[in-house]
Amino acid sequence: MMLAVNLTPILQGLYMSLLKLNQYTLNQFLDAPFIGLDNYRRILFEGHSPIRAGLGFALRNTLLYTLVVSIAAIVIGLAVAVLLNRDFPAKGVARTLLLLPWIVPSYVVGSLWGFMWQRDVGIVNVVLVDYLHLLDEKPFWLLGANSFWAIVIPTVWRAWPVMMLLFLAALQAVPEDQYEAATLDGVSKWGQFWHITLPILKPVIVIQFMFQFIDNVYSYNIVSMMFGGGYPGEWADLLMPLLTRQSFSYWMFGQGAAVSFIMMTLMLIFVAVWMRSFKRSLANDE
């Protein structure tokens, strides 16, 4: 039953990607003309089709964005988890407060940072230029290559607290005597982190990197809120915003379905390869 519920839209999506679906044929989609692989040909090889034009940028941005966000969230989360895994006053309060950025809904994150990045009224420029004098003139954060960082930073800001929490939980399961023995043997703190902590955290890192990767490939809310649902420019356009924009403003439903199907296939390949390469370290975790 569950499988059928999942499989039906996949098959329907596959079928739709073989049809000429636009605003005229949308209402009776069963009668829409069957055009075989033509949608795929247009997307991949026909330079001037509207969806193809932006696809290259969106693909590049999505890959870079996903990698940067996933790695940054994991590295920062791990560093702070190690920092928090000590005894200090009000430990629980710090941990709860650190989770707050994650509780803020992502559409609020998009609106909030969109406001903070504004050139004239945004706090980022006020702090960087007026208070700290780090830059001579106020840059446009939501234009050009800067806009890539304008979407990366808020995403990382919202993503790393959960990573921190998960790593902290895993760290607290590490038996204390391992560290004591290592200290007696004269292993440095850094060596202990490298040889005891990291191997224990490896399964969590492997799984969380995969989920981060999946999450960020399908990122939509932050970009769409920050740029008001319009075109975010060639450095901030990601696949999901592109896909919805093309489908609902150009009514290229068949081509949209074809892009979805390509994305799904790539994602399945990534997950299969990832799981296979780390099979052993995941099995140790059981």
Partner 1 sequence: MNKRKQNLLLNALTWAVVLLSLLPIFWMVLSSLRSFGEITEGAQLSSEQALHWENYRDMWLNVDFLNYFLNSLIVCGWTTLFATMFATFAAYALARFRFRGSDTASIAITVTQVIPGMLFFLPLYMLYKNMGESWGIPMLNTYHGQIFLYVSLFTPASIWIMRGFFMSIPRELEDAAIIDGCSRFGAFVRIVLPISAPGIIATATFIFLLAWDELFFAWMLTSSAEVQTIPVGIRLFNGQFQHRYDLMMAAATVSTLPVLLAFFACQRFFIKGLAAGAVKG
Scan residues 231-270 and list those touching partner 1 (CB under 8 A).
240, 244, 247-248, 253, 256-257, 260, 263-264, 267-268
- Among positions 203-222, residues that touch partner 1 (CB under 8 A) are 203-204, 207-208, 211, 214, 218, 220-221
- Among positions 6-45, residues that touch partner 1 (CB under 8 A) are 6, 9-10, 12-13, 16, 26-27, 29
Q: From residue 58, how far is each of 3, 143, 144, 219 by CA, in Å? A: 31, 15, 14, 12
- Among positions 83-102, residues that touch partner 1 (CB under 8 A) are 83-84, 86, 88-89, 94-101
Whole-angstrom Cα distance, residue 215 to residue 212? 5
112 counts as binding partner 1 under rule CB under 8 A: yes
Whole-angstrom Cα distance, residue 123 to residue 37? 49
Name the residue nearer to partner 1 (CB basis): 47 or 92: 92
Q: From residue 158, how far is each of 96, 197, 205, 207, 251 by CA, in Å? A: 14, 25, 18, 19, 33
276 counts as binding partner 1 under rule CB under 8 A: no
Sign of CA dihedral 84, 87, 92, 97: negative
Instruction: Quote the least distance from Cβ 73 to partner 1, whole Å.
Output: 12
198 counts as binding partner 1 under rule CB under 8 A: no
Name the residue nearer to partner 1 (CB basis): 43 or 80: 80
Kindly indicate which of the ranges 38-46, 54-62, 179-187, 278-286 contains the residues binding partner 1, using the contact rule CB under 8 A: 278-286
By three-state DSSP, how is residue 217 classified?
A: helix
3 counts as binding partner 1 under rule CB under 8 A: yes
Name the residue nearer to partner 1 (CB basis): 47 or 90: 90
Q: Which of 49, 7, 16, 46 is nearest to 34 (CA)?
A: 16
123 counts as binding partner 1 under rule CB under 8 A: yes
Instruction: Quote the least distance from Cβ 270 to partner 1, whole Å.
Output: 9
Whole-angstrom Cα distance, residue 163 to residue 69? 12
Burial class for 110, CB neighbours closer than 10 Å (0-12, 13-18, 19+)? buried
Name the residue nearer to partner 1 (CB basis): 60 or 119: 119
- Among positions 127-186, residues that touch partner 1 (CB under 8 A) are 130, 154, 157, 161-162, 165-170, 173
To 5 degrees, how large is the angle CA 27–CA 16–CA 215?
A: 115
Name the residue nearer to partner 1 (CB basis): 47 or 282: 282
DSSP 85: S
Helices (H), ranges, the chain? 2-16, 38-45, 50-84, 91-103, 106-116, 123-125, 146-172, 176-184, 189-192, 198-217, 221-226, 239-249, 253-277, 279-283
Structure token pair of residue 276: 């296979």
80 counts as binding partner 1 under rule CB under 8 A: yes
Number of residues that bind partner 1 (CB under 8 A): 84
Name the residue nearer to partner 1 (CB basis): 57 or 274: 274
273 counts as binding partner 1 under rule CB under 8 A: no
Kindly indicate which of the ranges 33-41, 66-74, 107-115, 179-187 contains the residues binding partner 1, using the contact rule CB under 8 A: 107-115
